[in-house]
Amino acid sequence: MNASTSGGKLPLHGPRRVIFPPKTVGEFVSNVNRYPVTAVQRRFYYLLCRMGTSRFSGHLAFKLDKLHCSYRSLSESLQPYGHVDNFLIACYCLKFFEESHPSRSKKHYFFPYIGESMMNYRTDPEALLVKKAFEGACSARKMHLSNLLYFPICFQHHWFLFIVDVTDRLFVFLDIFYTKDDDYQLHVSAILIEGFKTMWHRFINYATLPFDDFQVVYPATPRQENRDDCGVYVLKFLGLWNSPRVCLPSLLSREDIPNVRIQLMNEIYFSPLNQADKTILYNIYADICAAAKAGRGPSKTSRITTK
């Protein structure tokens, strides 16, 4: 099938249904370590966390084209109980784009401020931001010929993921804290769906889709027990959710989060796409390893101290 025309079309036997685990079954906890980390990954993780509070905190930890985040941003986002910030989510969205171009993946990952702008679509500056984002996305692959549109959003210091599933005709909300009946989601879902439909009809007016027939769904997700893990879950959902047949509680649980934080930090920092200079970190790590081997402390020039 031609990749240029296959995206955005209904499955052969109609839209697929969302999978829900039995209500009598609690959150799945595997005896197998689903997100293993090596000793080296763990060392780099703790080193990167310390870099975020050191004299190097303002240096770039990740850079890809014009987008970047500092060691402070990386550390504060992924350290234990850290709250993920917009810069890191945006970097991951661009990373997904570069690793699997929409012309192949048929997916679009929008920066967090685009979802937030859709919630304020009645103001001209916000609508202009959405217009530019939609035009940029369509230059990579027409949105109506894509399968999935991802909008990570932080509203009132809480992250959730809004997905427009063009293939299965769904508006998907992945929220690990609020349910569909909570005032929070009743508010954001109504505004987001209306904002998305309005922006689509204004800026993608050459392609009509039956959005009024799209079903609003809240698939089962792991449940959050604190206020800080929501962004970490959203980062994982961006990679895990690719169809209504995905059962997220069987793939991720709260017990996985400490290792997921370590994996995510190593994954983005050591990504082949990262254009930031890693010399400082490598020199510090090499000196620490040499000092440990020789039974001495690290040199003063390599020692990480807080500001």
Q: Per-residue pLDDT tens for 75-98?
A: 999 999 999 999 999 999 999 999
List pLDDT tens digits, range 268-282: 999 999 999 999 999
Residue 2: the pLDDT is 44
Residue 268: the pLDDT is 97
DSSP 227-238: SSSHHHHHHHHH
Q: What is the mean pLDDT of residues 195-213?
A: 94
Indicate whether 111 pLDDT > 70.
yes
Residue 29: the pLDDT is 53
Residue 33: the pLDDT is 81
Indicate whether 219 pLDDT > 50.
yes
Q: What is the mean pLDDT of residues 49-77?
A: 96
Indicate whether 289 pLDDT > 90.
no
Residue 118: the pLDDT is 96
Indicate whether 303 pLDDT > 80.
no
Q: What is the mean pLDDT of residues 163-175?
A: 97
Q: What percent of the chain has pLDDT over 90?
A: 78
Indicate whether 132 pLDDT > 60.
yes
User: Token digits for 220?
Assistant: 């089962």
pLDDT band, very low/low/confident/very high, at 124 (cuts 50, 70, 90): very high
Residue 32: the pLDDT is 66
Indicate whether 148 pLDDT > 60.
yes
Cα separation, 255 vs 219, in Å, equals: 20
Residue 13: the pLDDT is 54
Q: What is the mean pLDDT of residues 41-52?
A: 95
3-state secondary structure of 109: strand
User: Token digits for 284?
Assistant: 């510090």
Q: Is 107 left (phi over 0), alpha (psi -120 to 50) or beta?
A: beta
Bridge partners of residue 164, in order along the sequence: 149, 171
Burial of 16: CB neighbours in 10 Å, binned 0-12, 13-18, 19+: middle
Residue 281: the pLDDT is 93
Angle at 293 (CA atoms; ends 287, 294), nearest 5 degrees: 90
Indicate whether 9 pLDDT > 70.
no
Residue 17: the pLDDT is 67
Indicate whether 227 pLDDT > 80.
yes
Angle at 157 (CA atoms; ends 155, 161), nearest 5 degrees: 50
φ, ψ for residue 70, nearest 5 deg: -90, 170
Angle at 16 (CA atoms; ends 12, 19), nearest 5 degrees: 155
Q: How many CB atoms lie within 10 A of CB 204?
A: 18
